[in-house]
Amino acid sequence: MRLSPALWSTPAAYLNHAAPDLPVLFFSPATLQDTARRFLAGFPGLVTYAVKANDGDAVLDNLMTAGIEAFDVASPFEMEKIRARNPRAVLHYNNPVRSEAEIRIALGYGMASWSVDDPFELDKLLAAGLPDRTEIAVRLRLPVAGAAYHFGAKFGADPDLAVALLKRVAEAGFVPAMTFHPGTQCEAASAWVTYIEASADVARRAGVRLARLNVGGGFPSHRTGDAPALEVIFAAIGEATARAFGADAPALVCEPGRGLVAESFTLAARIKAIRHDGSVFLNDGIYGGLAELPIVGNIDRITVLGEEGWRTGAAVERVVFGPTCDSLDRLKGAVGLPADARPGDYVVFRGLGAYSTATVTRFNGYGAIEIVTTDFPG
Ligand SMILES: *Cc1c(COP(=O)(O)O)cnc(C)c1O
């Protein structure tokens, strides 16, 4: 992937000019900075960016310019990437499973917070010589619905174990905190509220006052229907914390990935062919920039640009395939595309900044995606 230095006003301006035959991701720094400022202004606590959603250099630079100073890092590579840009950035190591070598590397970078969800992982941390008064956040998991898919299947301690871990953290003299991740693309605030109430219950049962509560990521991006009302979620998180913890309310932290970065990228994939059965082949698919669509669901913000302008025909449901020779490489179900779409046109997908560049593969020789900077995402 290369970052094109040219600045175009819109994706259409570039597509009309360059007629690229490779997929293009258009990056709007202004949109990313606006979203970052919206989180900073609205979230009632510290905003950290979950680097895994998109670790592009331009993304990190623009987030820092907008005022993001804290980052959720999961691997030595991510730590190094942030430290290289900002030696004073605050790093939270919230991947709760770490090798001893990774722990040593992280100690070298200086972590402000470590999450833990397992007694053996806590043993490793307690033996590792963390500086005094380091924060250790116990990661809770609950069977909560509401996310496009949830992370509880992999990480997190059930409430009884969380109580035991929290007691041990406090007894060992570390700063006790809790964390959870409600899943990704949570459309409703209820997922956070349930977790906040359960966290307060765990802290009460452990007899521990939490210094901080990290409410994870999961903030939705605009995929279908109306744009999500982030401020409603922010307010619900603040109110639930005050209600559940009362006078002992911990300081809040969040770690959005998708919610911060998704809207700042737009993907244009070219129609390679429309086949005799009406199916459409694009030059990008699930092994490239569209990896998430089969997992999180198709988006409905799709337009088609032809040589003469945006296609306006009535939507026709089409099966959409990616370019590789793997039959899994198709979008779910059918996608409505304008009836007058033609081979050579560009199918433009809005809001694809999260888990797109981050997960692109070169499977079957595809996956070379050009990144072009634009003033506006669409
Ligand atoms: C992936 C991840 C996030 C970011 O999730 P989004 O749904 O992209 O906001 C936040 N915290 C943790 C621990 C994660 O693993």
Ligand 1 centroid distance, CA of 156 (Å): 13
Ligand 1 centroid distance, CA of 50 (Å): 6
Pocket of ligand 1 (CB under 6 A): 50, 52-53, 72, 94, 181, 184, 216-219, 255-259, 354
Q: Which residues of the chain have pLDDT under 70?
A: 1-6, 144-153
| Nearest Cα residue to 357 out of 94, 58, 86 | 58
Give the C-alpha separation, 356 to 59, whole Å: 13
Q: Please, are residues 302 and 260 in contact by the beta-carbon 8 Å criterion?
A: no
Q: Looking at the structure, do residues 15 and 163 belong to the same domain, yes or no?
A: no
Q: Looking at the structure, do residues 152 and 61 belong to the same domain, yes or no?
A: yes
Q: What is the CATH number of the domain that holds 241?
A: 3.20.20.10
pLDDT value at residue 154: 82
Q: Looking at the structure, do residues 79 and 55 belong to the same domain, yes or no?
A: yes
pLDDT value at residue 151: 54
Q: Looking at the structure, do residues 269 and 257 belong to the same domain, yes or no?
A: no
Kindly give, in sequence order, each residue whose CB lies less than 8 Å from that of residue 325, ignoring residues fewer than 6 positions away: 364
Ligand 1 pocket mutation, candidates 39, 71, 72, criterion most atoms within 8 A of CB:
72
Q: Looking at the structure, do residues 167 and 290 belong to the same domain, yes or no?
A: no
Atom index in ligand 1 nearest the CA of residue 94 equals: 13
Residue minimizing CA distance to atom 3 of ligand 1:
217
| Nearest Cα residue to 92 out of 242, 213, 193, 210 | 213
Atom index in ligand 1 nearest the CA of residue 53 equals: 8
Ligand 1 centroid distance, CA of 292 (Å): 14
Q: Looking at the structure, do residues 291 and 343 belong to the same domain, yes or no?
A: yes
Residue 341 burial (CB < 10 Å; 0-12/13-18/19+)?
Answer: buried
Q: Please, are residues 211 and 258 in contact by the beta-carbon 8 Å criterion?
A: no
Q: Please, are residues 239 and 277 in contact by the beta-carbon 8 Å criterion?
A: no
Q: Which two tokens stand for residue 127?
A: 């033996």
- The torsion defined by the Cα of 51, 54, 60 and 62, in degrees rounded to 10, comes to -130
Catalytic annotation, residues: 325
Domain count, the chain: 2
| DSSP structure class, residue 249 | P
Q: What is the CATH number of the domain that holds 309?
A: 2.40.37.10
Long-range contacts of 11-20 (CB under 8 A, 24+ apart): 11/266, 11/268, 11/305, 11/348, 11/372, 11/374, 11/377, 11/378, 12/305, 12/310, 12/348, 13/374, 14/372, 14/374, 15/268, 15/305, 15/346, 16/305, 20/268, 20/270, 20/370
Q: Looking at the structure, do residues 89 and 186 belong to the same domain, yes or no?
A: yes
Asked which of 242, 261, 280 is the last residue of a domain, the reply is 261
Ligand 1 centroid distance, CA of 217 (Å): 5
Give the C-alpha separation, 283 to 312, whole Å: 22
pLDDT digits (tens, 9 = 90+) for 193-247: 999 999 999 999 999 999 999 999 999 999 999 999 999 999 999 999 999 999 9
Which strand (E) or helix (H) includes residue 337? strand 335-338
pLDDT value at residue 149: 56
Domain that residue 232 falls in: 30-261
pLDDT value at residue 145: 64
Q: Please, are residues 27 and 233 in contact by the beta-carbon 8 Å criterion?
A: no
Q: Looking at the structure, do residues 56 and 69 belong to the same domain, yes or no?
A: yes
Residue minimizing CA distance to atom 10 of ligand 1:
217
Q: Looking at the structure, do residues 254 and 295 belong to the same domain, yes or no?
A: no
pLDDT value at residue 368: 92
Give the C-alpha separation, 294 to 353, whole Å: 16
| DSSP structure class, residue 149 | B
